[in-house]
Amino acid sequence: MATITENIRKEVKEIVYSFFADECEVDIDRINDQTSIINDLDGDSLMFLELIEIFKKKYNLDIELKVIGKYAVKHPVATIGQLIEMQLLIIENENRLMDLDH
């Protein structure tokens, strides 16, 4: 578990933006928090998983994918901004992510 500092928030945002710009072959300046992952970037759900792997390694996270899966079903992600918020919640709460709903 980590406290989300401004530095972490900035770092996560940069990684997410760069990842989508690179994978979807779009100019990073075309991406903002309101950008739709599917409709605007032609992205896919697998990208979410790949980002989780990146953050798991970067922040040494202890989190099971099924926990994220259950949470994501209740809190679907459609935009870049929503995805960043979800990643920050994962970094902050790890396996206690589901407790947020109680």
Partner 1 sequence: MTNEVVITGMSLISSLGLSLEENWKNIVAGKSGVNYITLFDPVKLTTRIAAEVPPEFEEFSRQYIKKRAGGQMTRVTRMCFTAAKMAVADSGIDFGQVDRMRCGVIMGVVSTGNSSTERDTTPQNTVFKTMTNSMAAWISLEYNLMGPSFAVNTACASSAYAIAFGYEMIKNGQADIVIAGGADSIINFEEIQGFNALYALSVANDPPEKASKPFSKDRDGFVIGEGAGVLILESKEHALGRNARIHAEIAGYAITSEAYNIMAPMKDGEGMAQTIALALKNAGVRNNEVSYINAHGTSTELNDRYETMAIKQVFGDLAYRIPVSSSKSMLGHTIGAAGAIEAIITAMSLENGVIPPTINYNQPDPDLDLDYVPNIPRSADLQVALSNSFGFGGHNATLVLKKHFTGIPSPGLKSGA
Binding site for partner 1 (CB under 8 A): 22-25, 42-44, 46, 49-50, 53
Minimal distance, residue 66 CB to partner 1, in Å: 16
Reduce the DSSP state of residue 79 to 3 states and report it: strand
CB 79 within 8 A of CB 34: yes
The neighbour count for residue 58, using CB atoms within 10 Å, is 13
Take residue 15 and report the two structure tokens written for it.
């990684």
Nearer to partner 1, 53 or 64 (CB): 53
Residues 6+ apart with CB under 8 A from 63: 52, 56, 90, 94, 95, 97
Minimal distance, residue 75 CB to partner 1, in Å: 22
Nearer to partner 1, 64 or 100 (CB): 64
Minimal distance, residue 25 CB to partner 1, in Å: 5
Nearer to partner 1, 24 or 89 (CB): 24
Nearer to partner 1, 46 or 73 (CB): 46
How far is residue 51's CA from residue 68's CA, in Å, rounded to a whole number?
Answer: 12
Minimal distance, residue 16 CB to partner 1, in Å: 15
